[in-house]
Structure 1
Amino acid sequence: MRVGFFLSTEEYGPEALIAQARAAEEAGFAGLWISDHFHPWNDEQGQSPFVWSMIGAVSQVCDLPVTTAVTCPTVRIHPAIVAQAAATSAQLLGGRFTLGVGTGEALNEHAFDPAWPAQETRLEMLEEAVALIRELWTGDVVTSRGRHYAVDHARIYTLPETPPEIFVSAFGPKALDLAAKIGDGYIGTSPDADLVSTFKAQADGRPAHAGAKVAFAPTKDEGWDHAYRLWPNAGLPGELAQVLPTPEHFEQASQLVTRESTKESVVAGNDPEDHLELIQTYADAGYDALYLANMGPHDLDMIRFYGEKVLPQVP
């Protein structure tokens, strides 16, 4: 199991994210995920630096591979611009870049198109967007008019030697089918062995990567306090994360989440065995890599803790 670090642009500003990336490499993490948000999930998180600026900055302070987790290339930004941004990022990172994509959330997209499409339409848009991105990465002049996107005599001049891989996020069965059809890999968040095995069976064993969050702190109670204060949205069920349109709506819905339920779902504190058990849960589900984010103010302490007491024990 490869273990990487997850840079949360919703919670940390640019300087903190750069410091985390540098520290993660020094601690021995295998790679970086970085979230791509226009809004945070709630005002308490309070950040949303532009992911493509952050990737450029990170490329100058460490040599770890970077994956967006995940970019929505369908509404907020035209897929041709995502193709250009990803190509530049891949070149800056010496080819160590993966474009993680998904159908997105109304939270980040509705400000640019209030009519949030149904899931079937979003999946259709994502498939068309990924095809256009890959065509542009050939370096050819592209003129195309699809159902959702059009380009006229478009060409990307700054390209890496090898096009980036594209990993696709999926939660439901239809999205999983699409991920297996168009993705070089799968991105998930749940240690669900059925999801992972289904993807790998349909996708000839292509890799599956996951993300999770922990709340490192001197005590478990303090960690749970940070998780409950900052990330109660993580406890919301079903498709709410895809359809709620504003941080205010997430704050209202998160009133249904209790501190007790946060305790049941979040690994907190500084016991290495708890963190190793979480990693093993994802390994047992069949994931090839797990990227861990920290919740709360002890982010650099968490990275050092993992480097000293957790990563050396990961099989």
Structure 2
Amino acid sequence: MGYLNLLKRCNNFSGYGFYDFLQGDDQRIGWVHDSHIMALRGFENGFVIDDQARTLRFVEDLTTPADRTALMVKVGLKLREDGLLGPWRNEMYPVKRKWEDESLFDIERAMTPYFGIRAFGVHMNGFVRTNEGLKMWIAKRSMTKATSPGMWDNMVAGGQPVGLSLRENMIKECAEEAGVPAGLAGRVKQVGGVAYNMQVGANLKPDVLYCYDLELPVDFIPRNVDGEVDDFQLIGMTDLCTLLCETCEVKENSALVMLDFLLRHGVLNREKIKNFDWIKESLVTPA
């Protein structure tokens, strides 16, 4: 595999075969594949489709976030009824280019890759300082998960829904996924983020993950509460590098968060890997 391939797996979007999903002053909020446009032609009162310019827009009278959200709820239910969406989550995501921006509208989580809309998430590296050096807790995703079942993941990770701050969501996920007490979870530190443009068939994930580190006591053992994790393992940095470089067993976007940890903590540096600067820059700027 190699570290470059970790980036390539998550940055395989060329833009070919997609319409620009535009909002307001030609602000791109997504990309919609040609094969998806046909299903949207039935919503004449919701979208304007320009085949020559290859653009999709809302009709002019949808002037407020509430108006646009209401339309997208109807669209989502129809797409779901027609079997055109992945697993329905019953979780609303805010639509915005940057997390600091005001939401343009809200959308069901399952719809974000269909419309190529940016989703946000919070991922946490739970690590321990031992006599043998740094070690990291990693989580084996449940075989019942809708996406990437059985793959290795960050100790704690979750999508960013409407109504919670990033930190609130991170602490909530700590409790649900790893049984981390609130007092300990409150020590979590936001350390940056990674971005990528990952195409899966006709779907696109142009997403941003906010990375967190939590240094854990040596005697802490994570336990799953919500049923989304089958197992946890504590591994050293050499084994982590091997897992990332020599297997495809780590969930693609979570591998980027682990790679970011290895770079920030000096486990990987210019002397140890080629293309160090390019890899570091590409984690935060989609390749």
- TM-score, reference length from structure 1: 0.27
Larger Rg: 2
